[in-house]
Amino acid sequence: MKTQKFVKLSKRYIREENFSTELAENLALLDVGDFEDAETESNVGTRKADIVATGNDGILVIENQFGKADWDHWGRLEAYARLKESNVAILVAEKFEELMIVTCNLRNEDSKIDWYLIQAKVNEHGEFSFHHIVRPTIDLQTERKNIKYSEFWEPIRKSGLFAGKPVPARDEGWLGKGIKGITIYLQLNNHACSILLSFQGDNRMQKRERVIELFPKDQFDYEIKESPKFANLLFPILNKGKKDKEFWDEIRDKLTTTGEKIYEIIMKSDL
């Protein structure tokens, strides 16, 4: 019986950027969701993330490196994932130390982002295999921590466009969905609810202006919001919110119906 021989990634690729390019064209091999529109060396502030992709499962950020994963790459991944407001964050490498595995598991317990450590292997014939060393899960350790989940979002996260992981009660002010580099947030305040479109990156102002053209003022009510790093559009929905429990069904219906409509308009656009 012949055993399969694996070679180092550095033997196949001259630079990590070359590996990123090939990986970006084959995201499905990672088995982490439905993503496309991948961009390599994607701008994040003054730095560049190896890969940023969008798709039906939101925004994906990937950092990869040859050999054993180091804490510098992990730190970059954390920064890029939060600045991009990603739904999935992945560090791809050939080896991982135990402390990093523990750290990534802890991130999955207290974060709305899905964190992965994925081992990349290539054999002498150039055939790749990817192995999930850490992936998001709700395990016994999480259950023992007695994490409370939002009652309001439970029906929404179980099915439909905004389906996803249970929403921790401490994060129940919003539920997000990414599309074409834009994040759509369903927002819940004590006595109001709204939909926020968040634009990130150096071209955020220009992208927002293009999106505004998709929503004529005579058909949509929205407000322009600014912050140092983000450009936003806020669509007020109802003057009812978390404290108005008797109206929760109406709030959920209005949020999801309007959110799906906004998503569809953006999806059909040429952004």
Could you tell me if residue 149 is inside a domain? Answer: no
Question: What's the structural domain count of the chain?
Answer: 2
Could you tell me if residue 1 is inside a domain? Answer: no
| 84 and 114 co-located in one domain | yes
| 99 and 176 co-located in one domain | no
| 18 and 116 co-located in one domain | yes
| 117 and 235 co-located in one domain | no
**pTM given for the model:** 0.53
What pLDDT does 4 receive?
61
Please list the pLDDT of the chain residue by residue as tens digits (271 residues). Answer: 455 677 888 888 888 888 888 888 888 888 888 787 788 998 888 889 999 998 777 889 999 999 999 999 999 999 999 888 888 999 999 999 999 999 998 888 778 888 999 998 888 777 778 899 998 875 433 443 456 778 999 899 888 888 876 777 767 888 888 888 788 999 999 999 999 998 876 788 888 999 999 999 889 999 998 766 678 899 999 999 999 999 999 999 999 999 999 999 999 998 7
CATH of the domain at 51: 3.40.1350.10
| 13 and 137 co-located in one domain | yes
For residue 201, what are the contacts with CB-CB under 8 A and spacing of at least 6? 43, 44, 181, 207
Q: Which of 100, 119, 143 delimits the end of a domain?
A: 143
Could you tell me if residue 218 is inside a domain? Answer: yes
Q: Which of 92, 111, 143 delimits the end of a domain?
A: 143
What pLDDT does 255 receive?
96
Could you tell me if residue 148 is inside a domain? Answer: no
Q: Which CA distances in Å does 198 have to 8, 42, 43, 177, 227?
A: 40, 17, 16, 10, 10
- Name which of 226, 227, 235, 230 is nearest 263 in CA terms: 235
What pLDDT does 160 receive?
87
Distance CA 54, CA 127 (A): 26
| 114 and 175 co-located in one domain | no
| 132 and 204 co-located in one domain | no
What pLDDT does 144 receive?
36
What pLDDT does 233 receive?
93
Expressed as residue numbers, the domain containing 44 is 6-143
Residue 181 and residue 59 in contact, taking contact as beta carbons nearer than 8 Å: yes
| 10 and 137 co-located in one domain | yes
Q: Which of 143, 168, 184 delimits the end of a domain?
A: 143
What pLDDT does 252 receive?
96
Helical ranges in the chain per DSSP H: 9-12, 16-24, 71-83, 98-110, 140-144, 154-158, 204-212, 248-268
| 126 and 252 co-located in one domain | no
For residue 89, what are the contacts with CB-CB under 8 A and spacing of at least 6? 60, 61, 62, 77, 78, 80, 81, 113, 114, 115, 116
| 130 and 187 co-located in one domain | no
Length of the chain: 271
| 15 and 53 co-located in one domain | yes
